[in-house]
Amino acid sequence: MSVQEALPLGGVAAGQPDQFRADHVLVAEMVKPGSKVLDVGCGEGDLLQLLETRGVDGRGIELSREGVNRCVAKGLAVVQGDADTDLVNYPDDAFDYVILSQTLQATRQPKVVLENLLRIGRRAIVSFPNFGFWKMRLQLLIGGHMPRTENLPASWYDTANIHFCTIKDFVELCDAIDVKMERAEALDLYGRPLRLRMPWWVWNLFGEQGVFLLTRGGRK
Protein backbone atom coordinates (compact mmCIF):
# COMPACT_ATOMS: atom_id res chain seq x y z
CA MET A 1 0.00 0.00 0.00
CA SER A 2 1.52 3.30 -1.02
CA VAL A 3 1.08 6.50 0.90
CA GLN A 4 -0.82 8.01 -2.01
CA GLU A 5 -3.34 5.22 -1.96
CA ALA A 6 -3.77 5.55 1.77
CA LEU A 7 -4.25 9.28 1.69
CA PRO A 8 -6.45 10.39 -1.18
CA LEU A 9 -6.91 14.13 -1.16
CA GLY A 10 -10.66 14.18 -1.02
CA GLY A 11 -13.08 11.91 0.83
CA VAL A 12 -10.39 10.71 3.15
CA ALA A 13 -12.31 7.86 4.69
CA ALA A 14 -13.17 6.27 1.37
CA GLY A 15 -10.94 3.36 0.35
CA GLN A 16 -9.59 2.98 3.90
CA PRO A 17 -12.58 1.41 5.58
CA ASP A 18 -11.48 -0.05 8.88
CA GLN A 19 -7.75 0.20 8.92
CA PHE A 20 -7.28 3.74 10.20
CA ARG A 21 -9.69 6.18 11.78
CA ALA A 22 -10.73 9.03 9.48
CA ASP A 23 -9.60 11.74 11.90
CA HIS A 24 -6.23 9.98 12.21
CA VAL A 25 -5.86 9.96 8.44
CA LEU A 26 -6.62 13.68 8.38
CA VAL A 27 -4.07 14.37 11.14
CA ALA A 28 -1.45 12.24 9.38
CA GLU A 29 -2.07 14.22 6.22
CA MET A 30 -1.10 17.41 8.08
CA VAL A 31 2.31 15.94 9.07
CA LYS A 32 5.21 16.28 6.66
CA PRO A 33 6.77 12.87 5.98
CA GLY A 34 10.08 12.28 7.74
CA SER A 35 9.38 14.72 10.58
CA LYS A 36 9.64 14.13 14.33
CA VAL A 37 6.32 13.86 16.13
CA LEU A 38 5.10 13.52 19.73
CA ASP A 39 1.57 12.12 20.15
CA VAL A 40 0.21 13.16 23.53
CA GLY A 41 -2.47 10.76 24.75
CA CYS A 42 -1.64 8.21 22.06
CA GLY A 43 -4.02 5.52 23.33
CA GLU A 44 -3.10 2.17 21.81
CA GLY A 45 -0.82 3.74 19.22
CA ASP A 46 -3.04 3.57 16.12
CA LEU A 47 -2.10 7.08 14.96
CA LEU A 48 1.60 6.46 15.66
CA GLN A 49 1.44 3.31 13.55
CA LEU A 50 -0.17 5.24 10.73
CA LEU A 51 2.49 7.94 11.01
CA GLU A 52 5.26 5.32 10.89
CA THR A 53 4.00 4.22 7.48
CA ARG A 54 4.82 7.79 6.41
CA GLY A 55 8.41 7.58 7.67
CA VAL A 56 7.69 9.76 10.67
CA ASP A 57 9.86 9.44 13.80
CA GLY A 58 6.97 9.10 16.24
CA ARG A 59 6.94 9.12 20.04
CA GLY A 60 3.99 8.88 22.38
CA ILE A 61 2.78 9.66 25.89
CA GLU A 62 -0.18 7.77 27.29
CA LEU A 63 -1.80 7.91 30.70
CA SER A 64 -3.13 4.36 30.99
CA ARG A 65 -0.67 1.56 31.73
CA GLU A 66 -2.60 -0.87 29.52
CA GLY A 67 -2.41 1.55 26.59
CA VAL A 68 1.31 2.13 27.06
CA ASN A 69 2.13 -1.54 27.31
CA ARG A 70 0.14 -2.33 24.17
CA CYS A 71 2.00 0.43 22.32
CA VAL A 72 5.40 -0.79 23.51
CA ALA A 73 4.44 -4.33 22.56
CA LYS A 74 3.85 -2.96 19.03
CA GLY A 75 7.41 -1.65 19.07
CA LEU A 76 6.35 2.00 19.44
CA ALA A 77 8.35 4.51 21.47
CA VAL A 78 5.73 5.29 24.07
CA VAL A 79 6.08 6.25 27.73
CA GLN A 80 3.59 6.36 30.55
CA GLY A 81 2.84 9.98 31.39
CA ASP A 82 0.31 12.70 31.99
CA ALA A 83 -0.20 15.63 29.60
CA ASP A 84 -0.83 17.93 32.56
CA THR A 85 2.35 17.13 34.46
CA ASP A 86 4.90 15.53 32.15
CA LEU A 87 5.12 17.90 29.17
CA VAL A 88 7.33 20.21 31.23
CA ASN A 89 10.10 17.60 31.03
CA TYR A 90 10.48 18.06 27.28
CA PRO A 91 12.85 20.75 25.99
CA ASP A 92 11.84 23.58 23.63
CA ASP A 93 11.60 22.72 19.92
CA ALA A 94 12.12 19.01 20.57
CA PHE A 95 9.59 18.02 17.89
CA ASP A 96 8.34 19.21 14.51
CA TYR A 97 4.77 18.44 15.52
CA VAL A 98 3.09 17.68 18.82
CA ILE A 99 -0.30 16.03 18.44
CA LEU A 100 -3.11 16.14 20.97
CA SER A 101 -5.85 13.96 19.55
CA GLN A 102 -9.19 13.85 21.38
CA THR A 103 -7.41 14.55 24.68
CA LEU A 104 -7.60 18.33 25.29
CA GLN A 105 -10.99 18.06 26.96
CA ALA A 106 -9.62 15.52 29.44
CA THR A 107 -6.74 17.68 30.69
CA ARG A 108 -6.92 19.67 33.92
CA GLN A 109 -5.32 22.77 32.41
CA PRO A 110 -6.05 22.90 28.66
CA LYS A 111 -4.49 26.35 28.28
CA VAL A 112 -1.20 25.35 29.90
CA VAL A 113 -1.16 22.11 27.91
CA LEU A 114 -1.71 24.02 24.67
CA GLU A 115 1.10 26.43 25.51
CA ASN A 116 3.39 23.48 26.23
CA LEU A 117 2.49 21.81 22.93
CA LEU A 118 3.72 24.86 21.04
CA ARG A 119 6.81 25.20 23.18
CA ILE A 120 7.91 21.57 22.61
CA GLY A 121 6.77 21.44 19.01
CA ARG A 122 7.20 23.96 16.22
CA ARG A 123 3.65 23.05 15.26
CA ALA A 124 0.79 21.45 17.12
CA ILE A 125 -2.15 19.46 15.82
CA VAL A 126 -5.14 19.47 18.14
CA SER A 127 -8.42 17.66 17.68
CA PHE A 128 -11.33 17.65 20.10
CA PRO A 129 -15.05 16.92 20.16
CA ASN A 130 -17.08 20.07 19.47
CA PHE A 131 -19.55 20.73 22.26
CA GLY A 132 -21.30 23.22 19.97
CA PHE A 133 -22.35 20.39 17.60
CA TRP A 134 -26.08 20.61 16.91
CA LYS A 135 -26.84 17.21 18.44
CA MET A 136 -25.20 18.29 21.68
CA ARG A 137 -27.12 21.53 21.75
CA LEU A 138 -30.36 19.75 21.02
CA GLN A 139 -29.92 17.23 23.84
CA LEU A 140 -29.32 20.01 26.33
CA LEU A 141 -32.06 22.25 24.95
CA ILE A 142 -34.80 19.68 24.39
CA GLY A 143 -33.71 16.68 26.46
CA GLY A 144 -32.53 18.78 29.37
CA HIS A 145 -29.64 16.38 30.10
CA MET A 146 -25.88 16.42 29.53
CA PRO A 147 -25.24 15.39 25.93
CA ARG A 148 -24.04 11.92 24.98
CA THR A 149 -23.05 10.89 21.46
CA GLU A 150 -21.73 7.82 19.68
CA ASN A 151 -18.20 9.14 20.15
CA LEU A 152 -18.76 10.38 23.71
CA PRO A 153 -21.00 7.77 25.27
CA ALA A 154 -20.04 8.28 28.95
CA SER A 155 -22.46 9.77 31.45
CA TRP A 156 -21.54 13.02 33.19
CA TYR A 157 -20.60 11.20 36.40
CA ASP A 158 -18.07 8.82 34.90
CA THR A 159 -16.60 10.77 32.00
CA ALA A 160 -12.90 11.62 31.94
CA ASN A 161 -13.75 14.71 29.90
CA ILE A 162 -13.74 17.61 32.33
CA HIS A 163 -13.09 20.56 29.99
CA PHE A 164 -15.44 20.42 27.04
CA CYS A 165 -15.37 23.36 24.66
CA THR A 166 -16.85 24.40 21.34
CA ILE A 167 -14.91 25.17 18.17
CA LYS A 168 -15.67 28.83 18.82
CA ASP A 169 -14.27 28.62 22.36
CA PHE A 170 -11.11 27.03 21.05
CA VAL A 171 -10.62 29.66 18.36
CA GLU A 172 -10.93 32.34 21.04
CA LEU A 173 -8.38 30.57 23.29
CA CYS A 174 -5.89 30.35 20.44
CA ASP A 175 -6.31 34.05 19.81
CA ALA A 176 -5.89 34.87 23.51
CA ILE A 177 -2.57 33.01 23.84
CA ASP A 178 -1.21 34.13 20.45
CA VAL A 179 -1.51 30.82 18.63
CA LYS A 180 -1.90 30.98 14.86
CA MET A 181 -4.14 28.56 12.94
CA GLU A 182 -2.42 27.32 9.82
CA ARG A 183 -5.21 24.99 8.95
CA ALA A 184 -8.60 24.14 10.38
CA GLU A 185 -10.95 21.29 9.59
CA ALA A 186 -14.31 20.32 10.98
CA LEU A 187 -15.34 16.67 10.77
CA ASP A 188 -18.85 15.32 10.61
CA LEU A 189 -20.21 12.51 12.75
CA TYR A 190 -18.40 9.95 10.59
CA GLY A 191 -15.05 11.68 10.78
CA ARG A 192 -15.38 13.11 7.25
CA PRO A 193 -14.11 16.66 6.78
CA LEU A 194 -16.63 19.39 5.99
CA ARG A 195 -14.62 20.37 2.99
CA LEU A 196 -16.44 23.52 2.03
CA ARG A 197 -15.18 26.84 3.28
CA MET A 198 -17.87 27.96 5.63
CA PRO A 199 -18.09 30.60 8.35
CA TRP A 200 -17.04 29.52 11.89
CA TRP A 201 -20.63 29.48 13.15
CA VAL A 202 -21.56 26.81 10.59
CA TRP A 203 -18.62 24.62 11.60
CA ASN A 204 -19.44 25.22 15.23
CA LEU A 205 -22.94 23.88 14.58
CA PHE A 206 -22.27 21.06 12.11
CA GLY A 207 -18.77 19.93 13.02
CA GLU A 208 -18.79 16.95 15.35
CA GLN A 209 -15.10 17.53 15.99
CA GLY A 210 -12.47 20.09 15.07
CA VAL A 211 -8.92 19.42 13.88
CA PHE A 212 -6.46 22.32 13.92
CA LEU A 213 -2.91 22.71 12.70
CA LEU A 214 -1.39 25.37 14.93
CA THR A 215 1.81 27.35 15.01
CA ARG A 216 3.23 30.04 17.23
CA GLY A 217 1.82 33.51 16.66
CA GLY A 218 4.05 36.47 15.99
CA ARG A 219 2.59 39.03 18.38
CA LYS A 220 5.25 38.78 21.09
Partner 1 sequence: MVGVQSISSPAITADERSHEVDHPSSQVAQFGAEQPLRLDCGVDLSPFQIAYQTYGVLNADRSNAILICHALTGDQHVANVHPVTGKPGWWETLVGPGRPLDPSEYFIICSNVIGGCMGSTGPASINPATGKVWGLDFPVITIPDMVRAQAMLIDRLGIDTLFAVVGGSMGGMQVLQWTAAYPSRVFSALAIACSTRHSAQNIAFHELGRQAVMADPDWHHGGYADRGIHPHRGLAVARMAAHITYLSDAALHRKFGRRMQDRELPTFSFDADFQVESYLRYQGSSFVERFDANSYLYLTRAMDYFDIAGDHGGVLAKAFTGIQTRFCVVSFTSDWLFPTSESRALVHALNASSARVSFAEIETDRGHDAFLLDVPEFLDISRAFLQSAGKARGLTAKNA
Name the site residues for partner 1 (rule: CB under 8 A).
57, 59, 65, 68-69, 71-81, 86, 89-91, 94
- Choice between 14 and 88, CB closer to partner 1: 88
- Choice between 86 and 115, CB closer to partner 1: 86
- Choice between 21 and 74, CB closer to partner 1: 74
* Backbone torsions φ then ψ of 36, nearest 5 degrees: -110, 125
Sequence-ordered list of residues with C-beta below 8 angstroms from that of 84, at least 6 positions apart, any chain: 107, 108, 109, 112, 113
- Choice between 63 and 205, CB closer to partner 1: 63
Torsion of CA 64, 48, 128, 176, to 10 degrees: 100
Q: Is the dihedral of CA 204, 207, 84, 108 positive or negative?
A: positive
* Smallest distance, partner 1 to C-beta of residue 19, A: 20
* Smallest distance, partner 1 to C-beta of residue 129, A: 28
* Smallest distance, partner 1 to C-beta of residue 90, A: 5
Q: How many C-beta atoms lie closer than 10 Å to residue 64's C-beta?
A: 12
CA distance 167 to 205: 9
* Smallest distance, partner 1 to C-beta of residue 111, A: 22
